[in-house]
Chains A and B, each alone.
Chain A
Amino acid sequence: MSARTTAEASGTSGGEGLARAFYRFRQNPLSLVGLVLVALLLFLAIFGPLVAPYPEHLAGEVSVLDRFKPPSAAFWFGTNEVGQDILSMVVAGAQVSLLSAMGVIVIATLIGTLIGLAAGYFGTWIDEVLMRFTDLILTLPALILAMAIAAGLGPSIVNMVIALALAWWPGFARLVRGEVIGLKEEQFVVAARAQGAGAGRIIFRHILPNVTSPIIVKMSLDVGFAILAVASLGFIGIGVRPPTPEWGVMLSVSRSNLPHFWWTAIFPGMAIFVAVLAFNLFGEGLRQALDPRARR
C-alpha cells in the first residue's frame, strides 16, 4: 500500500511515467546530442585502451622521431613533446576524468542527501546546526576549499576526489532539505506515521523515493562541473600528476609548447569543453523531462 502511494506521488517511478519522461526528453534535440555525447564518453571511459590508436604510447613506448608531429592521417591530433599520440592520450583521459568526476558526485550526493534528509525531517535544532554548517562551507568557493583540503591531505587522485566531494555536498544538502520539508506534511507520510512507522522507515522508504528525481537531475548536471573541477585541479598541479593522461594536466604541460605546437593544447582543451557541454546538455534535458516545475 505505502509503496504504491510513494510511486504515485513521484509520478515518474512507474513505467508509464518513465515513458512520458523519455518522450519529453526526446522533444529537445539538444538533449539528444547530450545523450549521444555522454554515451560516447562512457564508451571511451570503459573501452578507451582498446580503441586508442597507439595504446603502447600510453605506457611510454615512443619514438623520439615522432616528437611534435602536427595533426596528420597517422596522428589525427598530432603528437606531444615526447612523441606520444595526443588522440590516444585524450581517449585515455576520458577514463580518469569521468571516473574521478563521478566519484566526486557520488560521495557528495551521499553526504549531502543524508544531511539534507536529517535537517529537513527532524527540523528544530538539528536543522539549525546542520544548515549553519552548510552555509559555512558555502562561504568558500568550492575550488579554493577543495585545493586547501587536497593540500592538507597530500597529492593523490583519491585525495583529490575526497577533497572535491567535501567541498561539493552542500548543494545536495540544501536541495534535499527543501524537498523533504515540502514532503513531510504530505498525506502518505502522515499516514505512515499514523501506522506507527519509525523515523528511519519514513525517511528511507517514503520520503527518499520521492526525492530521487531531483537528486538524479542535480547529479547529472553536476558531473559536467565536476569534470571541469578535476581538470582545473590537474591544471594547477594538485591532484592528478603527470604522466597520468588527464586533460587538465595535458593542457598545463602544453603551455610551454605554445605558440608553435598549438595542437598539444587545443585537443585536450576541446576534450574538456565537449565533455562538460555533453553533461550540461544531458542534465538540462533530464531536468526538463523529470522536473514538473521546469516545464514551461
Chain B
Amino acid sequence: MLSYVLFRIALIVPLLIGLSLLVFVIGRVLPGDPAALAAGPYATAEQRAAVAAEFGLDQPIAVQYWDYVTGLFEGDLGRSIMTRRPVAGDLALYLPATLELVAASLLLAVAVSIPLGLVAGLTANRAPDMTISAGTLSAMSMPQFFLGLVLQLIFAMWLSLLPLSGRLPFTVAPPPAVTGFYTIDSVLAGQWHTLWLSLVHLALPAITMALAPIAMITRIMRASTMEALQQDYVRNARALGLSIRLILFKYVLKNAASATLTMIGLYVGWMLGSTVLVEKVFDWPGIGLYATNAILNQDFNPVIAVTLVIGVIFIATNLIVDLLYGVLNPKVGDR
C-alpha cells in the first residue's frame, strides 16, 4: 500500500511541471506583449521598457519561465500589475473564502444526493424515481448564475430571509484568522453570532453551487443502487429474509460509495471552475472573483497563479480520491 501511495505521488511530478508550463504559456506567451498591456494604451516606449524591466519581461522567455518556477519554490507568485501587490499574499486572503464555499457545497451535495439517489434507485421507474429523475435533468440544465440570481431575487430581495451577498455584513468584523474559514474561525473564537451570520451568508451561494453536483451524484447513486439490487448476493440476502435496511447499509451503500467517490473527485474540479460564476453573482471574495477581475484587467500574474492553484487542488483531490478508492476497494490498491 505504501509503495502504491509513493508511486501515485511520483506520477504527479511530471503533471505539475506540465501544468506550470501550460499556465505560463497561456498567461505570458499568448498575450504577446504583457508589458504593453501593463503600461497601458497611452504609455511611451520608455515607460513600457521600464515596466518590462520591472516585471522581468525583457528577459528571454526561457529565462522568464525559469525565474517563475524558481520563484514558485519560494512561494513567490509574482506581483499584480494593477495593484503591485504580491499575488501570493492576495491568494492567502482569497483562497480560504473559495475553499469554504466549495467545502460547504460539497457537504450539501453529498448530504442531499445520496438519500435522493437511494430513493430513486429503490423506486426505479415509479413515481418517486420519475420525479427525482426529471428534477435532476432540469437541475443539470440550470445555468448557475441564473439560479443564483433567482435565489437572490426570491430569498434576499423579495422575502428578505437571507443576505444578498458577501461573507459577512460590513458592520461585522471577521473572526480572528486561523483557518480563514469564517465558520470554523468563529467557532474557535467562540463568536456564536458571527458563526450564525457567516452561515446565513454561505447558504445561497452554497446551494447555487451544489445544485448541479446534486443532480449528477443522484444519478450515479441511482444507477449504482439499481445495479446493486440486481446482484446475486443482494437477492440472496433478501430471499434469506434480511431486512431491507440492513441490506441497504451493508451492501448497496458500500457498493455505491466507490462510484460516488470518483464523481466527487471530478466535481471538486468542476466546482472550482464554477466559482468564477457563483462568486461573481454573490460578490463572494474568493479566487474566482479575483481571477475574473484579473482577466478583465489582463493582469497576467494573478491569472497564472489562480489557474495553477486550481490545477494543483484538482490534482491533489484526485490523488486523495484515488487513494481512498484503494482503501474501499482493496483490489485496486494491490497493484
Q: Which A residues contact B (CB, under 8 angstroms)?
A: 30, 132-133, 135-137, 139-145, 147-154, 224, 228, 231-232, 235-238, 248, 251-252, 254-255, 258-259, 262, 265-266, 269, 272-273, 276-277, 280-281, 284
Contacts and interface: CB of A to CB of B under 8 A. Distances in A.
A132 B18 contact: yes
B137 interface: yes
A235 B35 CA distance: 28
A273 B143 CA distance: 6
Given A153-B30, A259-B158, A140 B142 contact: no
A144 B307 contact: yes
Contacts of B234: none
A17 B292 CA distance: 48
A139 B15 contact: yes
Given A147-B276, A224-B141, A280-B140, A140 B307 contact: yes
Contacts of B157: 258-259
A148 B307 contact: yes
Contacts of A258: 149, 152-153, 157
A254 B314 CA distance: 33
Given A143-B273, A231-B143, A238-B295, 7 more contacts: A132-B14, A136-B19, A140-B310, A141-B310, A153-B30, A231-B145, A273-B142
B138 interface: yes
A151 B69 CA distance: 22
Q: Does more than half of chain A's interface fall in helix, strand or loop, or is it mixed?
A: helix
B24 to A, nearest CB: 11
A99 B68 CA distance: 39
B277 A140 contact: no
B150 interface: yes
A173 B315 CA distance: 20
- Among A147, A238, A254, A284, which residue has the most Cβ atoms of chain B within 10 A? A147
B311 A152 contact: no
Interface in B256-313: 269-270, 272-274, 276-277, 280, 291-292, 295-296, 298, 303, 306-307, 310-311
Contacts of B272: 141, 144
A101 to B, nearest CB: 13
Interface string B22-62: 11001101110000000000000000000000000000000
B149 A265 contact: yes
B146 interface: yes
Nearest to B294: A151
A281 B158 CA distance: 33
A152 B27 contact: yes
B298 A151 contact: yes
